[in-house]
Chains A and B, each alone.
Chain A
Amino acid sequence: MLSSSRIKLFIPLVVFALLALVFLQLEKRMISGDYDPSMLPSALIGKPLPEFNLATLDNPNTVITSINLNNKAALLNVWATWCVSCRVEHAYLNTLAEKGITIFGLNYKDDQQKANQWLTRLGNPYELNLFDVNGKLGLNMGVYGAPETYVLDANGIVRYRHVGVVDEKVWQSKILPLGLNW
């Protein structure tokens, strides 16, 4: 018969067992592709975008230092033609743009000609595309890779960062609940 004080010694084991079950569940869901650990915290959250000075994708002679939000929330989508997942994501961005969602593009470490061809062929959901050929702005923002999407509120403050493909599920479950004025 175990005494009650002996039973107390099992508490850490039980806690750990529960924790291990959670991890196992996560691993299983990761393997099945159901769980996407894209909740990367960003040092930018709660802050405006860093200062930048970039040309647009369609016109290398322009210089842009800020994006005009018109008092509406917007997405800033980091993409490139070398990124396979971006192609997957592109169709959904087109859908969002048709609904009237403002999307800005950050074309990241890409080839200008290829990028413009891509937009002609697959459609252009972007209000404006910044051409970040050296990844300067991307680096200052802490971009890990493409695709990555930053949610800006009407004041230009970064409210959320999504790493990986934005799709209907992400839009419904993560971005809409932020309650921004689209």
Chain B
Amino acid sequence: MIPEIGHFALLLCLPIAIFLASIPLLGAILGRPLWMRLGPLLALGQWLFLLLAFICLTHSFLTDDFTVKLVAMHSNSALPWYFKLSAVWGNHEGSLLLWVFILASWTLAVAYASQSLPLDMRARVLAVLGMISIGFLLFIIFTSNPFERLLLNPVADGNDLNPLLQDFGLIIHPPMLYIGYVGFSVAFAFAIAALMTGNLDAAWARWSRPWTNIAWAFLTIGIALGSWWAYYELGWGGWWFWDPVENASFMPWLAGTALIHSLAATEKRGVFRSWTVLLAILAFSLSLLGTFLVRSGILVSVHAFASDPTRGLFILAFLVLVIGGSLLLYAVKAPAIRSNAKFGLLSRENFLLVNNILLAIALSVVLLGTLFPLASSALNLGSYSVGPPYFNAMFVPLSLPMIVLMGIAPYISWKRSNKISAAIPKWLIAAFVALLLAGLATLSLSNQYQQDFNWLAFITLVVSLWLITSTALHMLSKAKHQQGLLTGFKRLSVSYWAMVIAHTGIAVAAIGIGLTSVYEQQKDVRMLLGDDISVSGYRYQLTAINTFEGPNFSGTRGDITVFDGDTVITVLQPEKRFYYAARNVMTEAAIDPGLTRDLYVALGEELEEGAWAVRVHVKPFVRCIWLGALMMAFGGFLAVTDKRYRSKRMLNA
């Protein structure tokens, strides 16, 4: 009965979404306030029914209702409850339901948190969100019904959730990612609404900014979680593979990053209007494209075995309608690009422009690398695989200058910068400090990891430390203008702090990426009890091997004592688990985390005579990657709390 209620609630959402997409919009066009005011109510209704549907599906999973096909295929009675919960979105149909539910939640948030918005603008934005909702609801209802029953051949127990997905990181990774993806729909809806009215002034940019920041911050966290999960769960110690599904999440992130900056220029100076609108359309379109690539079966061949080709065609049709439609609207209504720029060479506008150009190039690089293999097979030009070497070779030269410019950017003011001469001594200091510290650090790292002086590590450190020092000096001088340094720091605006933290996050992540790539060491060894091995100056000794029983698995746990000289640093306990239900063996790596290095040990197979295959990694500064990402996300959230977004009257910045 409960799955039927869920299904019915889901079906009911469709007419509500159709009303949401039409009535407020008609109201805005015909000037009927009452129709426009219906928007928030419809958004609430849609949200409530989707919530009900989602609760019903979750209930089926938690109560092991194996008459529901989805539950039978992706869950098992022996799973702990929290994995039953995450199994709800550990599959195509359920994750799609989560997707629309999140869309409905954003819609609701826009409806009730935008009281200061002009009535017709709000009505149009809600209507655009309603249209997107219609598309996804049709997709679920007609091709991917999560409530389908298995009435003819009931099963005793479910197939179980893929053990790789039985992990804490995977419980929260998809929701975070989806909140980010779907969040870009809000900026998209604002852009489309602004295009409809033809009124692309600074106002729409100001309204979009907080929403875009939040979506971007969630997406950042989602991507970082995915990378962190791959790192500790897959047992290879890798944190980014440039695979198409990862790229599908990275592309909207790049577009979103560009959008955040471009929105600032449009809001503050009224420049780049067309470009900003295009980016808003692009960020969401790339989110949709990711959905298409992942779910159409074009990329992930496991799903292609079972996937219904009509699904791919459906999403493609939807993509053409949404993206094609909005780009057409853009082409017809966007203000023509004017070349008579009213800002100097050394202006913040120009710096944001360069930032956007670099990000757009980076985006094209990823897009090309992801789609080229597809395009070449579509056109019968043969199959190509574009691997990490391509992406790395393109990304390093793109990101280094970007980071250098980020160190200069805060000093440059809008229109034309006159304070360059005052900034030059600070830049010289920052450059000197960066060169000195980077040189010392590279020397000491090369010594510690027994390598020659590595130029890539040095350059990464120079630009990252330059960014940190230069930003810190700017903050210092900005605070010094006030009475006392402490009051000065307190007086700095929240959005300024947000910028400082997010930019520092980029530097921290860059340090992590650069140093891990250069200095990581890995050894696969055969170990008997008592054997030891040295990797990067640490000595690893296998001191015990024990078997134990877990709740739904049996396991073997190794004790590996790590020494630095004669001092014991830690005892790592990697595990090998055999899951009864799925008859699967899983590797649980043991990690001794540290800011400057991770010691990472994974237990391989049991070899002859009681020996074990053991994989040992030393990963210098790998944690900085995710720390940096968290700092960026925190900056994104912090920027939203700036008081000018809460105030109804327009503040002059």
Q: Is residue B578 contacting chain A, with contact meaning CB distance below 8 A?
A: yes
Cβ contact of A164, chosen from B301, B312, B379, B382, cutoff 8 A = B301
Which residues from B are CB-within-8-Å of A24? 316
Which residues from B are CB-within-8-Å of A12? 278, 281-282, 327, 330-331
B-side interface residues, number (CB < 8 Å) = 64
Which residues from A are CB-within-8-Å of B324? 13, 16-17, 20
Q: How far is the CB of A103 from chain B (nearest CB, A)?
A: 21
Measured in the bound complex, the distance between the Cα atoms of B320 and A58 in whole Å is: 55
Q: Are B312 and A30 in contact (CB under 8 A)?
A: yes
Q: Are B309 and A139 in contact (CB under 8 A)?
A: no
Known A9-B331, A27-B313; judge A40-B301 contact (CB<8 A). yes
Which residues from A are CB-within-8-Å of B199? none
Measured in the bound complex, the distance between the Cα atoms of B336 and A65 in whole Å is: 67
Q: Are B338 and A41 in contact (CB under 8 A)?
A: no
Q: Is residue A53 contacting chain B, with contact meaning CB distance below 8 A?
A: yes
Which residues from A are CB-within-8-Å of B238? 43
Q: Is residue B257 contacting chain A, with contact meaning CB distance below 8 A?
A: no
Q: Chain B: which residue is nearest A136 at the CB level?
A: B585
Which residues from A are CB-within-8-Å of B615? 51
Q: Are B236 and A5 in contact (CB under 8 A)?
A: no
Q: Is residue B469 contacting chain A, with contact meaning CB distance below 8 A?
A: no
One of A31-39, A68-76, A117-125, A150-158 contacting the partner? A31-39
Cβ contact of A27, chosen from B282, B309, B583, B605, cutoff 8 A = B309
Measured in the bound complex, the distance between the Cα atoms of B316 and A47 in whole Å is: 36
Q: Are A9 and B613 in contact (CB under 8 A)?
A: no
Q: How far is the CB of B579 from chain A (nearest CB, A)?
A: 10
Q: Is residue B75 contacting chain A, with contact meaning CB distance below 8 A?
A: no
Q: Are B236 and A43 in contact (CB under 8 A)?
A: yes
Q: Is residue B305 contacting chain A, with contact meaning CB distance below 8 A?
A: yes
Which residues from B are CB-within-8-Å of A6? 331, 336
Known A16-B324, A22-B378, A51-B524; judge A5-B584 contact (CB<8 A). no
Q: Interface digits, B291-303 against A, CB 8 Å rule (1 contact, 0 not)? A: 0100011111110
Q: Is residue A29 contacting chain B, with contact meaning CB distance below 8 A?
A: yes
Which parts of B235-253 form the interface with A (CB within 8 Å)?
235-236, 238, 241, 243-244
Q: Interface digits, A155-181 against B, CB 8 Å rule (1 contact, 0 not)? A: 000000001100000000110000000
Can you name 19 A-B residue pairings with CB atoms under 8 Å? A8-B337, A9-B337, A12-B281, A12-B282, A16-B327, A17-B324, A22-B374, A31-B309, A36-B301, A37-B297, A37-B298, A37-B299, A39-B373, A39-B383, A51-B607, A53-B607, A53-B613, A145-B305, A163-B301
**B interface residues, Cβ below 8 angstroms from A:** 234-236, 238, 241, 243-244, 274, 278, 281-282, 285, 292, 296-302, 304-305, 309, 312-313, 316, 319-320, 323-324, 327-328, 330-331, 334, 336-339, 371, 373-375, 377-379, 382-383, 385, 387, 524, 578, 583-587, 604-608, 613, 615
